[in-house]
């Protein structure tokens, strides 16, 4: 009992320090300095990430229930080329091989997610626990620890049990708060003695906006102007409840940490001397990351969200704001429920003011009154939305430091895709992206930002949601046309491995040699892949099966 009181006192003191440490972010100070040769603090953790639906496959194997993504991808026209994650990387069967890859890279941690319907097929703890699903994750965690790789576990990476969507409307219904807490509690009970880092939700912005506003992602609902806000409201409550459950029932025994992973692009004012542009850029961040971070750290939604959505709701003749309201008790309950902040970041936008008349209708995007722009000179090697703008990463990290009292940060996703017609393992653009973005993170640590670890996205090429297999983020190339889903290292594997072994960028001469050496090693992988494909193609022709497996890219 005394230990629990001391732990709770620690969290209260930490929260007081966080609130008192808040300061204003200087929008006019954008230092774009030259490359910084130095190393990361001792104990800095290097890792790579994945998620259950994107990599596991085995969608209806060993008692797993259906998720909203299983249902969504089987509807024609929802996913590019009608791809599905039914088999994906076959990670359910190949996790031992994948851990061998991690060990070779000398990763300190591996971030993965637990599929809710794989261990609770109906979504409900009281109905049926799938012990085969429990065993899979138990084996995965044990093997990671045997290889001295720390598991960082995400509880919700978008795969809600389909039953809960059909019966209750998913995250539109407040009952999800208790159902999710039951699922999380089961995970703490079964895996908590071995897992010390828990992430409640991955990128709740995407769950809310793309799942319940635009319908681009599962469950595909288009509830414009209301659906995203309601889903987010329930997600924030669910996060807080899980944090309190861990704090009261498990923390003193298991001594772990519970955080959340928020993904955010940086928004830079088009003109840093123009106050309207500065306000628009801050609105962009607050409607993106602040939507979730501000309640969790400070107890309520950002004031600018309350003002803008409330005003537009009034102009539309509504009696109340479309943004839900937290009660005083809920504000107190939610505030401070974060032991660390997971931060996903990929790119940057320039932002300027753009007024959207209320007569155009309800929309999360119209509520913000802004326009997003890109510089045509920014490199864009892959996804149409992903431009390489390294300096934005440092800006975002410093913004978190000033806004939320310099919380402990683990970068949970950062990486770049390629969208190419031919197979190319010598991914020089990815090496450049990692070099530049990781260096901006190092500068942010020099600025005093409390970053403890970095997670490259992703370990493997995998199923990229509505883009199917057309975009590849992996350090390892996965041959999806081969039913065995073999992995081949890209040059970036060797490059990232050298960053890890050096714990940063020790000196210019050494760092400049890394890319050259990495490209040299990838030529043999290219030859192996080409030979495997020729053999595969020959076997298909011999059997008269020109399309034995889906072909997503042509050599």
Secondary structure string (H, E, C) spanning 437-472: HHHHHHHHHHCCCCEEEEEECCCECCCCHHHCCCCE
Q: Which residues pair with 153 in a beta bridge?
A: 112, 198
Strand, coil or helix: 257? strand
Residue 221, C-beta contacts closer than 8 angstroms, at least 6 positions apart = 170, 172, 211, 212, 215, 227
The secondary element (H helix, E strand) that includes residue 314 is: helix 303-315
Strand, coil or helix: 415? coil
d(CA 182, CA 166): 19
- Which residue numbers are catalytic? 413
ω into residue 28 within 30 of 0, thus cis?
A: no
Nearest to 382 by CA among 514, 309, 474: 474
Using the 8-state DSSP alphabet, how is residue 286 labeled?
I
Could you tell me the CA-to-CA distances from 399 to 21, 370, 381, 392, 531 in Å, in that order?
13, 19, 27, 10, 49
Residue 373, C-beta contacts closer than 8 angstroms, at least 6 positions apart = 270, 349, 350, 351, 352
Question: φ and ψ at 172, to 5 degrees?
Answer: -75, -15
d(CA 44, CA 424): 31
Strand, coil or helix: 45? strand
d(CA 341, CA 450): 10
d(CA 81, CA 87): 15
d(CA 196, CA 173): 30
The secondary element (H helix, E strand) that includes residue 393 is: helix 391-403
Strand, coil or helix: 85? coil
Could you count the other beta carbons within 10 Å of the beta carbon of residue 72?
Answer: 22
Task: Please provide the size of the chain in residues.
Answer: 555
Strand, coil or helix: 494? helix
Would you state the structure tokens that stand for residue 10, as one six-digit string? 């620690």
The string of DSSP codes covering 398-421 is HHHHHHTTS--EEEEEE---B--S
**Cβ-contact 170, 219 below 8 angstroms:** yes
* H helix count then E strand count, the chain: 20, 15
């Amino acid at each position: 009992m005394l230990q629990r009181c001391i732990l709770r006192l620690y969290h209260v003191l930490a929260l007081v320090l966080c609130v008192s440490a808040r300061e204003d972010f200087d929008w006019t100070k954008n230092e774009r300095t030259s490359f910084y040769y130095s190393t990361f603090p001792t104990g800095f953790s290097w890792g790579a990430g994945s998620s259950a639906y994107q990599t596991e496959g085995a969608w209806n194997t060993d008692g797993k229930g259906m998720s909203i993504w299983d249902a969504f991808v089987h509807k024609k026209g929802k996913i590019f080329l009608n791809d599905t994650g039914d088999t994906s990387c076959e990670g359910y069967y190949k996790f031992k091989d994948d851990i061998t890859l991690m060990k070779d890279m000398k990763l300190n941690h591996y971030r993965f997610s637990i599929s809710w319907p794989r261990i609770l097929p109906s979504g409900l703890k009281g109905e049926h626990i799938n012990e085969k699903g429990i065993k899979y994750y138990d084996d995965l965690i044990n093997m990671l620890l045997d290889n001295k790789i720390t598991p960082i576990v995400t509880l919700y990476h978008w795969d809600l049990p389909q039953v809960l969507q059909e019966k209750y409307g998913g995250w539109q219904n407040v009952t999800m708060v208790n159902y999710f807490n039951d699922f999380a509690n089961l995970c703490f009970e079964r895996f908590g003695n071995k897992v010390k880092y828990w992430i409640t939700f991955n990128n709740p912005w995407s769950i809310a906006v793309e799942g319940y506003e635009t319908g681009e992602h599962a469950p595909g609902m288009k509830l414009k102007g209301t659906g995203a806000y309601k889903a987010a409201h329930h997600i924030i409550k669910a996060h807080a409840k899980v944090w309190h459950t861990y704090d009261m029932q498990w923390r003193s025994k298991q001594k772990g940490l519970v955080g959340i992973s928020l993904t955010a692009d940086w928004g830079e004012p088009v003109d840093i001397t123009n106050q309207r542009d500065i306000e628009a850029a801050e609105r962009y961040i607050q409607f993106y990351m602040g939507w979730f971070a501000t309640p969790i750290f400070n107890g309520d939604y950002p004031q600018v969200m309350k003002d803008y959505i409330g005003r537009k709701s009034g102009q539309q003749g509504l009696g109340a704001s479309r943004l839900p309201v937290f009660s005083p008790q809920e504000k107190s309950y939610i505030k401070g429920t974060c032991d660390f902040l997971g931060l996903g970041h990929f790119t940057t936008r320039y932002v300027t003011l753009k007024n959207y008349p209320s007569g155009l209708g309800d929309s999360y995007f119209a509520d913000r009154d802004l326009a997003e722009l890109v510089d045509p000179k920014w490199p864009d090697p892959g996804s149409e939305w992903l431009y390489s703008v390294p300096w934005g990463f440092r800006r975002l990290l410093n913004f978190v430091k000033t806004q939320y009292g310099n919380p402990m940060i683990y970068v949970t996703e950062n990486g770049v895709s390629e969208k190419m017609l031919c197979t190319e393992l010598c991914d020089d653009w990815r090496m450049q992206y990692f070099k530049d973005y990781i260096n901006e993170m190092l500068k942010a640590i020099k600025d005093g930002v409390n970053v403890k670890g970095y997670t490259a996205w992703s370990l493997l090429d995998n199923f990229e949601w509505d883009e199917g297999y057309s975009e590849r983020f992996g350090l390892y190339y996965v041959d999806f046309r081969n039913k065995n889903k073999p992995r081949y290292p890209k040059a970036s594997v060797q490059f990232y491995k050298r960053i890890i072994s050096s714990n940063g960028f020790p000196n210019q001469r050494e760092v400049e040699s890394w890319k050259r050496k990495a490209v040299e090693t990838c030529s043999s992988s290219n030859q192996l892949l080409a030979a495997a494909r020729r053999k595969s193609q020959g076997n298909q022709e011999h059997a008269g099966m020109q399309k034995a497996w889906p072909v997503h890219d042509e050599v």
